Chain A
Amino acid sequence: MDRLVERLDRLRGPVAPRNHNARTIAALTSNPGCARRGVLDAAGVNKGEIARHLGFPSGYGQSRFAIGRGNAFEAQVKADGCADLLHLLRERLGLSIPEVAYADLSTVGGNASREVRYARTRSLLARAAGDHDDAGTMFDHPMLRLEIAGYYAYLEPDLIAFRAGGRFYVVEIKSFPVIDGQADPAKVAAAARQAAVYVLAMRRLLAELGHPGDVVADEVVLVCPENFANRPTASLVDVRRQLSVLERQLGRITRLEAVLDALPETMTLDPAQPAGDVATSVRAIDASYTPDCLGTCEMAYFCRDECHGSTRALGRGVHDDLGGVDSVDTVLGLARGTRTPGVGQEEIASLLRFAHQLREECLS
C-alpha cells in the first residue's frame, strides 16, 4: 500500500494533492472503465490544471448561482432550529416529539479545522450509537472522512438524523424542484451517488467504533423544494445500488497497481513540465472516453480530441450500432464500398452500404 502511495505521489509531482469531496468521489463511479481517470483521481492530480496546461481548458464546475441558490435553500430549511426539517422528518421518519436535539458541528468552539470537527463528530456519533438517552437527533454539518488511496478525503453531509429506533439517516438538501412528485432523474441519481458516499463514510466510522454497518440506513432523506414554490418536501431514496458500485470502485483503486506497473517508473504529471511531456505521459494511461465525460471530468476535452476519428467518441450507443468498428474512416469506407470488409465485418458492411444507399436516394 505504501509503495502505491509513493508511486502516486511521484506521479502527481511536487504539488499538494487535490482534495476529494462527495462530488468527486461519486464521479469516480461514473466511468469505471477509465484507467486514466482512476489513476489521476487516486493520485489527487488537479485535472483541471493539467487540462489547461495541455491546452484544453474546460468550463467544468458548478455555477455560482446554483451554489448560492443551494445555500439559500439549505439555510431556509434549517432556519429556526431546523423547524421545517423537523416537520418533514417527523412526517417521513416518524421522529417522535421529544426527538428534537440539535448539534451544530460546522465549527467547534469557533475552530473550523477539519480534524477538530471530525474528532467532535466522531465522539458525538459514538455517543448516539452507544444509545444514550439524550444523545442527540440532528447533527448539522458533521465532518466525516473516507480513505481514498492513502489520503483522507473529508466529507460534509448536510445533516445526519438519528432516530431513537437506533438508525442514522443521511439527509441531503438539494435545491432542484420536485414537481408533482417527479424530479429530474439525472439530478436525483447524482444526489443519490453523493449521499451514498456519506453513507459509506458513516458506516466506516461506526465500524471503527465497533457498530454494525446497518446502523446507518441505506435509504437517504432527500429534501427538495416542492412544485413551483419554495416549500421543502422530503422523500426517501434507496441508495443500495450506488453503495455497492461505490464500494467496488473504491476497492478497485488499490488495484491500480497493475495499471501503474505498466507505466514508466519515473513518469510524472508535474504541471511545471513542458506541455508536450505531460501530454505524452497522460497519453500513456489508457482512457475510455464517452460523451458523458463532458459533464463529469475536466480531462474530457483532451480525451475527446485524442480519440478523434474513433467511433467511441460518439458514445457507446453509436459504437454498438456500428457493429464495434473502431474507426470512423473505416465505417465511411465500408458504407461507400471503397474498402473491403475484413473478417467478421461482412454483416455490418452490408448494413452500412444499405444505409448509405438510402441516404443517397433521399438526398438526390
Chain B
Amino acid sequence: MSDEHGGAIETLERRIDQLRRALRRAAAGGDRTLARALRGDLREAEQAWDEALAALESRCEPSAPAPRVASMLSIREQVHHALTLLTVPAAPKLIIAVHEAFFPGELVAARLTSLRRDEERSFRVAPFGRPYYLGPALAADLLSPARGLLAISTWPLAARIVGPLSPRVDFLISAIRVAKRIAALPIVEGAASRLLWRFAASIPGAGTGAVYPAKVIEAAEAELAVHAESDSAHRLAAAERAREVLDDTESLFGARLSSPRISHGSSRRTA
C-alpha cells in the first residue's frame, strides 16, 4: 500500500522504544534533567507517530470495501435485471448471488419472499397493468407453480416452464451466461469469482482450482448439448398444453391443483 508511510512509522516506533528504554534508565539512575529532556523527546515522537498513522489511514481508506447501500431501484427491477442476465428461471439464492456479483446496491433476501404474492395481487387488481410481472416458473407436468423459481412474464411460455431436465439445463445456461459476463469484466474479484467457482465445481471438465470463464463455457456447452434437445421438446409440449388449458392469470402464476378434502390425520388401514 504506502511503503513510504509504513517505513516512517516503523522508524518512529523504533525511536519511541529507544527513548522509553533511555527514560527508564535515567529515572532509575535518578538523573532528573536527562529524564525531563527524554520525556519531551518521547512526547514529540509519539505525536509524530499519531500523525503518521492518521496519514496512513487516510491514504488506505479508498481501497477499503465501500459499504453496500440500498439501491435506488425497486426490488422487482433488481430481480428483473438479474433474471434478464440469466435468461432462465432461477431460485432467489442464485438471483441474489448474481445481483451481488454484477449489480450495485443491496438486494434484501427477506423482501424476495413477498415479491411473488405482491405481483400476483397486482395482476389480479389490474391485469397487464405493468410492462412485466415476476411470477413463478411452471412445472411441466401439472402446470402448477414450481417451488422457489422466479421467471419474467414476458418470456415465451416454453421458457417459463420447467420439465424434469430443466433444473440442470437452466443451471448450465446460467453458468454460460455468468461466465460470458465475467469474461467481459476488466477485473474479476469477490462475489463474481465466487459465483463462477461455484458453477465450475459441479460441471464436469470445468476445472478445479483456477477457474477460467472460457473453460466453464466450453464444459457447460458440452453437457448442455446432451440434454438440450429432450428438454426443449418437453417444454414445448407442456407450453402447447398450457395454452389450451390455462387462463391468463394461471399462465402467469400457475394452476393450483384443487385439493379434495382429505383427512390430514393418520389414515386408518382399510381392509
Q: Are B164 and A110 in contact (CB under 8 A)?
A: no
* Known contacts A17-B266, A113-B259; A136/B164 CB under 8 A: yes
- Looking at chain A's contact residues, is the secondary structure mostly helix, strand, loop, or mixed? mixed
Q: Are B164 and A109 in contact (CB under 8 A)?
A: no
Q: Are A80 and B171 in contact (CB under 8 A)?
A: yes
- Chain A residues whose C-beta falls within 8 Å of the C-beta of B171 in the assembled complex: 80-81, 83
Q: Does A70 contact B (CB under 8 A)?
A: no
| Most A Cβ at <10 Å: residue of B167, B170, B255, B265 | B167
In the bound complex, CA of A5 to CA of B91 (Å): 46
Q: Does A19 contact B (CB under 8 A)?
A: yes
* Known contacts A98-B226, A108-B142, A113-B262; A147/B257 CB under 8 A: no
| Most B Cβ at <10 Å: residue of A106, A111, A147, A151 | A111
Q: Does A16 contact B (CB under 8 A)?
A: yes
Contact with A81, one of B93, B168, B256 (Cβ below 8 angstroms): B168
Q: Are B202 and A97 in contact (CB under 8 A)?
A: no
Minimum distance in angstroms from A44 CB to a CB of chain B: 7
Contact with B202, one of A84, A108, A113 (Cβ below 8 angstroms): A84
Q: Are A134 and B230 in contact (CB under 8 A)?
A: yes
In the bound complex, CA of A84 to CA of B227 (Å): 18
Q: Are A80 and B167 in contact (CB under 8 A)?
A: yes
- Chain A residues whose C-beta falls within 8 Å of the C-beta of B142 in the assembled complex: 108-109
| Most A Cβ at <10 Å: residue of B174, B202, B268 | B202
Query: How many residue-residue contacts, CB under 8 A, span A and B?
Result: 93
Range for the number of chain B residues in contact with chain A: 35 or more
Nearest B residue (CB) for A44: B266
Q: Which of B231-261 contact A (CB under 8 A)?
A: 254-257, 259
Contact with B255, one of A104, A106, A109, A134 (Cβ below 8 angstroms): A109
- Chain A residues whose C-beta falls within 8 Å of the C-beta of B262 in the assembled complex: 113, 115-116
- Chain A residues whose C-beta falls within 8 Å of the C-beta of B139 in the assembled complex: 104, 109
Q: Are A100 and B165 in contact (CB under 8 A)?
A: yes
Q: Are B168 and A86 in contact (CB under 8 A)?
A: yes
Nearest A residue (CB) for B259: A111
Q: Does A87 contact B (CB under 8 A)?
A: yes
Q: Are A108 and B257 in contact (CB under 8 A)?
A: yes
Q: Does B193 contact A (CB under 8 A)?
A: no
- Chain A residues whose C-beta falls within 8 Å of the C-beta of B167 in the assembled complex: 80-82, 100, 102
Q: Are A98 and B202 in contact (CB under 8 A)?
A: no
Nearest B residue (CB) for A98: B226
In the bound complex, CA of A45 to CA of B93 (Å): 41
Q: Are B266 and A83 in contact (CB under 8 A)?
A: no
* Known contacts A84-B202, A87-B201; A152/B267 CB under 8 A: yes
In the bound complex, CA of A147 to CA of B270 (Å): 11
- Chain A residues whose C-beta falls within 8 Å of the C-beta of B202 in the assembled complex: 80, 83-84, 86-87
A to B CB contacts below 8 Å, 12 in the list: A16-B266, A80-B94, A81-B170, A83-B202, A97-B204, A102-B167, A107-B144, A109-B257, A110-B257, A113-B264, A147-B269, A151-B269
Q: Beyond A79-B91, A84-B201, list 4 extra A-B contacts (CB 8 Å).
A: A104-B147, A108-B142, A108-B144, A111-B257
Q: Which 5 A-B pairs have the closest CB atoms?
A: A81-B167, A109-B257, A109-B144, A101-B164, A100-B168
B-side interface residues toward A, CB under 8 Å? 91, 93-94, 139, 142, 144-147, 164-168, 170-171, 174, 199, 201-202, 204, 223, 226-227, 230, 254-257, 259, 262, 264-269, 271
A-side interface residues toward B, CB under 8 Å? 2, 5, 16-17, 19, 44, 79-84, 86-87, 90, 97-98, 100-104, 106-111, 113-116, 134, 136, 147, 150-152
